[in-house]
Amino acid sequence: MSTVDLTGKVALVTGGGSGIGEASVRRLADLGAKVVVVDLVEEAARRVAGEVDGLALTGDVAHPATMPGVVARVEDELGRLDVVHLNAGVGGGQLGVDERLDVDRYRTLVGVNVDHVVYGTCAAVPALRRTGGGTVVVTASLAGLAAMPSDPLYTMTKHAVVGYVRAAGAALAGEGIRMCALCPGFVDTLLLGAAREEFTEAEFPLLTPEEVAATLERVLAEGEPAQAWIVQPGSDGMPYRFRGVPGPAGGQLPPDVVLGRNA
């Protein structure tokens, strides 16, 4: 596997106090980075940051002021920003197909899974420009590539994330800023909740957070802009190959400005 040296670099991980985020923090620290651990739970952020000699910051990433404040603090205290892992996420927990929709839970879901990615990207990109380039990796899900009928709302948010990464990643590529998505299958974290017992009874293999973090390293070493990397148990991570869509019957291309060539 290709490796990457992050000595002297600064990395930021949201949702870094547990699960995939915690594993990513440790992986990035092992690669030499100074890691900023962002989590809603202050105790968790401090614990993980303390174990890797990192910086702990707390806040609600779904709030529009949080990520700009985090990035400003990182630049002020550490002087630069090179790698951003927008990993924080929550499960849907409801179908969202009829009058039983819990609007508050829905808004929280969209706020953390979608808004946080946009706020985090918009806050990080100017800092990455000042550094001279860098990488943004967003934790999506296989539910961003395929339907998960047990949780349509979660599926919706992760499809939105993958679409955003593909478009924004292409728009940023010319600036030396890579943006990619991680699309893991089912991971053995607290997000599984009570369903973990069902996976165990079915003898279904679950990913470990460390396996997802290993693919994060591969993305940093080998990833191309706008890719979505699949992570499944027992196999190396790999970029997903999206199929094209049919164009007009005459074969014409959209105007350059739509494709971003003149952006």
Q: Just list the catalytic residues.
A: 154
Type and span of the H or E element at 42: helix 42-51
* Phi, psi torsion values for 173, nearest 5 degrees: -55, -35
Determine contact, residues 62/115, Cβ cutoff 8 Å.
yes
Type and span of the H or E element at 53: none
* Phi, psi torsion values for 258, nearest 5 degrees: -70, -40
Collapsed DSSP state (helix, strand, coil) of residue 44: helix
What the block records as the tokens of 25 is 């923090």
Determine contact, residues 164/118, Cβ cutoff 8 Å.
yes
Instruction: Enter the DSSP assignment of 91.
Output: -
DSSP symbols for 164-192: HHHHHHHHHGGGTEEEEEEEE--BSSGGG
Of the chain, the end-to-end C-alpha distance in Å amounts to 35
Give the integer Cα–Cα distance in Å for 245 and 76. 45
Provide the β-strand partners of residue 20. Answer: none
Give the integer Cα–Cα distance in Å for 55 and 38. 8
